[in-house]
Amino acid sequence: MGYPGVRAWLPYVVLLPLTAFLMFWMGRARVRVTTDELWVGDAHLPLRFVGEVQVLTAQDKRPALGRDLDPAAYVLHRGWIPTALRVVLTDPEDPTPYWIFSTRSPEKLAELLRTSAARASSAQTTPGT
Which pLDDT does position 125 carry in this prediction? 66
pLDDT digits (tens, 9 = 90+) for 7-41: 888 888 999 999 999 988 887 888 999 989 999 99
Mean pLDDT over each residue of the chain, to the nearest integer: 90
Across the strands, what pairs with 101? 76, 85
Distance (Å, rounded) from C-alpha 67 to C-alpha 23? 29
Provide the whole-model pTM: 0.77
Distance (Å, rounded) from C-alpha 127 to C-alpha 104? 37
Answer yes or no: are the C-beta atoms of 89 and 96 closer than 8 Å. yes
Which pLDDT does position 108 carry in this prediction? 95
Three-class SS state of 46: strand
For CA atoms 12, 15, 19, 21, the dihedral sign is positive
Which pLDDT does position 112 carry in this prediction? 94
Answer yes or no: are the C-beta atoms of 90 and 7 closer than 8 Å. no
Which pLDDT does position 6 carry in this prediction? 83
